[in-house]
Structure formats: C-alpha cells, structure tokens
Amino acid sequence: MEGRYPPEVEQVMRGLFESLPERQRRRYAAVEAVKLGRGGLAYLAGVLGCDEKTIRRGKCELAEPPPLPPGRSRKKGAVGMS
C-alpha cells in the first residue's frame, strides 16, 4: 500500500460510506481498496468500519458487467418519479 489518508480525509470517507445504500457502500470501498493496492483492503476495512468480506464482494461486483446498458439509469420502460 502506498500510503494512508490523512485523518480528515478518512472522516469524510466514513461519512460518505455511511450515507450510501448497501450495494454502493461495497462498490465505493472496493474502488478505494483498488486505488490503494496491496494492504488497502485491510486498511479500508478499519477506516470504514466494515468487514473485509464486504470489500471483496464489492470487488467482485465491479468485475461483473453492469446491469443496464451504458448511458441508461433505469431499465427500459421504467416510470420516472415526478
């Protein structure tokens, strides 16, 4: 792992992580772990207060193809909220 984040950055990361729905939490943690490289998974699990398995699952989800075609935010035929 190249380095650790400063405490103020860790605090902002925790706030963001806690504000996200479950799936996005896993994916966000996985992206951060990938950026940090070796040792990043354990470090982030400590910073974010989550299990390493959560981050590993996020990494697997990132490797899967997206559920929607590129450029789409909803499934075809979905009704928007007005």
pLDDT digits (tens, 9 = 90+) for 26-75: 999 999 999 999 999 999 999 999 999 999 999 999 998 666 666 665 66
Q: Is residue 69 part of a domain?
A: no
Range of the domain at 46: 7-63
Domain membership flag for residue 15? yes
pLDDT for 64 equals 85
Can you tell me which residue has the tokens 């007005």?
Answer: 82
What is the number of structural domains in the chain?
1
Query: 82 lies in a domain?
Result: no
CA distances for 3 relative to 32, 36, 38, 41, angstroms: 12, 7, 10, 13
Q: How many other C-beta atoms are found inside a 10 Å radius of the C-beta of residue 12? A: 12
Amino acid at 44: L
Task: Give the predicted TM-score (pTM) of the model.
Answer: 0.75
Distance from chain centroid for Cα 2: 19
Determine, yes or no, domain membership for 81. Answer: no
Residue written as token pair 């981050």: 55
**Domain assignment present for 75:** no
Instruction: Evaluate whether residue 79 is within a structural domain.
Output: no
